[in-house]
């Protein structure tokens, strides 16, 4: 196999949400493959920590402050990065999350779910998570005739999991928008794909998966029992899929796809 298929030297990757665990691991994988990486987010402290981790390993990275829900902020960040690193050719949309008020506890009534909580989850995962970044960075990629956009969806976007109704619906919309943009930009040189991670313990879901003493929660145990590999994923296990989709050589004919990295969770129907 030609190892140069996965060489991202001279590529400029923007990772929105790179201050988080999963986004940060993907940023490191891109840097390991040779890309110059920009970490975008609102937390400069966490962003700089990720930059230091990448540079300590011999990679190139910078932090750029930006608000994914503010188109002007994203445009300013894009223009600043063009001067610092060059025109972005890879975009990872890893920002997202849930809201407690949009989660249905056992015995609760769906009809009582607050509209503002639903809207917050959709804004975070769909508007700021995909729509605005794709409009801003996708515009420059289309103009350049080159680019790979990778949206981070979720297992719950494929399977309407209990309780996280707004999050599941928003991530389903992420997959749909990914497919729309892939078709829209198919002849421009810009590829658009999604990755749907299975269950990866992170800050936002750790309390859902584990008890305070570190043992599995009831829900965590159910998930493990439904996963053929009988474990949760590790953030670095997303790196291969990200580098593959980012590479114009390795994935040149791949667009509009939702790549599942879930330990077999979605293959079990009963």
Among all residues, which ones are annotated catalytic? 167
What is d(CA 101, CA 82) in angstroms, rounded to the nearest whole number?
39
Please say whether the beta carbons of 175 and 153 come within 8 A.
yes
Start-to-end CA distance of the chain, whole Å, equals 38
Rg (CA), the chain: 18
**Non-local CB neighbours of 191 within 8 Å, separated by 6+ positions:** 147, 148, 149, 182, 185, 245, 251, 252, 254, 255
| Nearest-5° Cα angle at 210, 206 to 215 | 150
Greatest CA span in the chain, whole angstroms? 56
| Nearest-5° Cα angle at 30, 247 to 157 | 80
Angular region, 190: left φ>0, alpha ψ -120 to 50, beta rest:
beta
| Strand intervals (E) in 134-269 | 147-152, 190-197, 258-261
| Nearest-5° Cα angle at 135, 195 to 39 | 60
Number of other residues whose CB lies within 10 A of the CB of residue 149: 27
């Amino acid at each position: 196999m030609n190892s140069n298929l996965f060489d991202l030297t001279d590529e400029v990757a923007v990772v929105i949400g790179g201050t988080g665990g999963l986004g940060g691991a993907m940023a490191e994988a891109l840097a390991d493959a040779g890309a110059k990486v920009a970490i975008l987010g609102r937390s400069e402290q966490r962003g700089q920590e990720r930059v230091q981790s990448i540079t300590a390993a011999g990679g190139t990275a910078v932090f750029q402050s930006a608000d994914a829900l503010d188109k002007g902020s994203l445009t300013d960040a894009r223009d600043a990065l063009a001067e610092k690193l060059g025109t972005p050719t890879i975009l990872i949309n890893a920002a997202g999350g849930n809201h407690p008020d949009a989660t249905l506890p056992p015995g609760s009534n769906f009809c009582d779910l607050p509209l503002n909580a639903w809207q917050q989850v959709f804004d975070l995962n769909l508007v700021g998570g995909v729509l605005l970044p794709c409009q801003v960075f996708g515009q420059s990629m289309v103009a350049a005739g080159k680019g790979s956009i990778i949206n981070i969806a979720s297992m719950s976007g494929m399977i309407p999991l209990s309780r996280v109704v707004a999050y599941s619906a928003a991530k389903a919309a992420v997959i749909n928008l990914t497919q729309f943009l892939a078709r829209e930009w198919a002849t421009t040189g810009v590829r658009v794909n999604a990755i749907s991670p299975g269950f990866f313990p992170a800050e936002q879901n750790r309390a859902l998966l584990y008890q305070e003493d570190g043992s599995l929660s009831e829900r965590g145990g159910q998930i493990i029992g439904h996963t053929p590999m009988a474990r949760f994923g590790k953030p670095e296990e997303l790196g291969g899929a990200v580098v593959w989709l980012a590479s114009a050589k390795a994935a040149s004919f791949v667009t509009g796809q939702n790549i599942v990295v879930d330990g077999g969770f979605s293959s079990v129907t009963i």
